[in-house]
Chains A and B, each alone.
Chain A
Amino acid sequence: MLLYFCQRVAYVVGIVLVVSLLIFSITQIMPGNVAYVILGDFAPLEQIHALEEKLGFNDPWYVQYWRWLSQIARLDFGDSLIMERPIGPILWQAVANSAVLAVISIVLVAVIGIWLGVVSAVRHGKASDHVVSIGTYIVLAVPEFFWCIVLIVVFAGSLQWLPATGYTSMDEGFFVWASHLVLPVVALVMGLVAHVSRLTRSSMLEVMQSPYVVAARARGIPEARVIRGHALPNALLPTITVLAIDIGVLMGGMVVVETIFSYPGLGRLLIFGIQQLDLPLIQAAMMVVAVIYALANLLADVLYAFLNPRIRFGKAAHG
């Protein structure tokens, strides 16, 4: 187990390094643009060259990469080109705001998704199973940004129950704060709940036909216990992997949802950076996203291993 854990950690570090190289490569694809972004499109060539020299763009790429990576590692993200302020504080505020959305969403996805999946597997072929299956089928076809539109039209527009956009801090009261979160969270979780519940259902159905579950029934274990004690622990293993993948999908969704709801999170910051060609900002935001995603996957791996005795008590192996 310890060996396995070390293996996974080393692996994640390797992945993050490779990803950092990819993110860094943006500067190599469009180095000139950075100087233009700072000085404006009509800046004289000499000024551009001087700035590039000052920013170190004339060093070999590995020198630049090392400089950038060691800065990032010290959590020094440099200054935003557009806002002309240090990126750090802006970034951390955005991460904190996004974390609120993400944590609420992923918890809801796990709880509701698994619950729906298990219920429809247990009631396989019954009316409630069909309702869940058809419902998730349709929901899966609806992209997050369209959920946002529909939710805004219905709940903010027609019904006027909830604010359409924006964010308030907790200081202005819990309900005001929460009311701004409801629509973004709903838009984020709809598709993922459907995804998780479909996969949980199919893995549950498969496990419920497996010989060891039939054997437990043959031993006279009551059906409720068979489901809870024998089928569920095994059926949830693939769900953990799926949840980890869905964190990535969730991050993508947050880019869209935060933009539409004008929610001041990491996704909106990233889109802002891309639209303004604010390179340091783009790089910093992407690095943070990559690291968070890698950590989430590490967590899922460890959880998976912990629930799977074959890894917990077996030999380390990955693939």
Chain B
Amino acid sequence: MVDATTATPAATAAPPARRRRPWPATLVWGTAGIAAVLAFALVGAVWTPHPYDGMNISARFAAPSATYWLGTDEFGRDVLSRVMAGAHLSLFMGAFATFISLAVGVPLGLIAGYFRGLREEVIMRAVDVMISIPPIMLGLLILAVTTPDIWKSAGAVGLIYVPIIVRLTRGVTLELGAQEFIEAARARGERDWYILFVEILPNAWPPIIVEAALRVTFAILLGAALSFLGLGVQPPASDWGLMIAEGRPFLSQAPWIAIAPGVALVVTVILINLFGDGLRERLDPRLRQKGA
């Protein structure tokens, strides 16, 4: 942008003075936040203040108190314990869905962007078709015909995001493929797999990782929506989406049943987003804000 800035990077003849860039504040806070969320989910998976499924008819619809910090639900179960116990399911939903979309999307994107031609045409047209179905419909299409469980809904959510990962990876690959160091590799007779995995992939990771962080949050939200509709986690297990659904009939008498898991969901998503933004700043300051 400004020619004066080109003078800054280590403009000395001295041997490598590799400057460690400090972590951006967003990344510091985001990492801390993610650590807290993970700790919350891990603790919740093994220990909760009250048994998460322990019913107590005498304490139905108890308002938040010293015993029940977040109150109890219609069966007298402790809401805080249920929020803690459901955390790992919601996080799993996000992580597994993102894993699926990366595992399917990244190789397809690399192939489309590097080999071009017929392979690219086929992959990208298939992606066009997938993108032409509204996201939740694709999930419903898959879940409508089979009995829902958490693996299936996470997988469905993952598939929904495959097109986005393919397009991103292909774009990055196309851009990298046009760089001269790729031509140099071809000129010295490197095999395609070497160019793809040694020359291109290490350079393609930063934007993909940033996008993946974003996908985790979208997957958590969409997974929660599916659970909310009864198409994800099945009772008696309960993730946050299902808990909100379960609390819905009692909004007027005991709003905390639905509000507590909702707030947990929102805070988790904000923290992961913060982490993603930090990664974005750290890995590629020029990477532009991307559409979802």
Residue ranges of A at the interface with B (Cβ–Cβ < 8 Å): 15-16, 18-19, 22-23, 26, 29-30, 137-138, 140-146, 149-150, 152-153, 157, 195, 198-199, 202, 206, 238, 241-242, 245, 247-249, 251-252, 255-256, 259-260, 270-271, 273-275, 282, 286, 289-290, 293-294, 297, 319
A149–B248 contact, CB under 8 A?
yes
Chain B residues, Cβ within 8 Å of A294 = 132
Given contacts A149-B259, A256-B225, contact A137 B273 (CB under 8 A): yes
B187 interfacial by beta-carbon distance below 8 Å: no
B→A interface (CB under 8 Å): 124, 128-129, 132-137, 140-141, 143-146, 217, 221-222, 224-225, 228-231, 241, 244-245, 247-248, 251-252, 255, 258-259, 262, 265-267, 269-270, 273, 288-289, 291-292
Give complex CA distance A22, B251 in Å.
39
Distance between Cα atoms of A19 and B125 in the complex (Å): 12
- Chain A interface helix/strand/loop/mixed: helix
Pick from A198, A241, A282: contact of B144, CB under 8 Å:
A282
Contact check: which of B135, B145, B229 meets A249 at CB < 8 Å?
Answer: B135
Contact of A157 among B129, B141, B229, B251 (CB under 8 A): B251
Contact B132 A256, beta carbon cutoff 8 Å: no
Which residues of A are found within 8 Å of B141, using beta-carbon distances?
22-23, 26, 286
Could you say which residues of chain A place their CB within 8 Å of the CB of B289?
Answer: 198-199, 202
Bound-complex Cα distance A198 to B277 (A): 14
In the complex the two chains form, is A289's CB within 8 Å of B137's CB?
yes
Inter-chain contact B244/A15, CB cutoff 8 Å:
no
Contacting residues, chain B, for A238 (C-beta < 8 A): 291
A-B contact count, CB below 8 Å?
A: 126
Q: Are A153 and B136 in contact (CB under 8 A)?
A: no
Given the contacts A23-B141, A146-B265, A157-B251, A141 and B132 also touching, CB distance less than 8 Å:
no
Q: Which residues of B contact A26 (CB under 8 A)?
A: 141, 144-145
Query: What are 20 A-to-B residue pairs whose CB atoms are below 8 Å?
Result: A15-B132, A16-B132, A19-B132, A22-B133, A141-B269, A141-B273, A142-B266, A145-B245, A149-B244, A149-B247, A149-B255, A150-B259, A150-B262, A152-B251, A153-B255, A157-B255, A245-B291, A255-B229, A260-B248, A274-B143
Bound state CA distance, A242 and B145, in angstroms?
31
- Given A29-B145, A286-B140, 8 extra CB contacts under 8 A: A23-B141, A146-B266, A248-B135, A252-B135, A252-B222, A286-B137, A286-B141, A289-B134
Residue of B nearest to A27 (CB): B145
User: A140–B195 Cα gap in the complex (Å)?
Assistant: 38
Which A-chain residue is minimally distant from B257 (CB atoms)? Answer: A149
The list of the 8 closest CB pairs from A to B, nearest first, reads A252-B136, A248-B134, A202-B289, A141-B269, A146-B262, A251-B134, A15-B132, A141-B270
Rounded to whole angstroms, the CA-CA distance of A2 and B222 in the bound complex is 39
Min Cβ gap B182→A in Å is: 21
Closest CB in chain A relative to B34 CB, distance in Å: 14
Q: What residues of B have a CB within 8 angstroms of the CB of A30 in the complex?
A: 145
How distant is the Cα of A247 from the Cα of B135 in the complex, in angstroms?
10
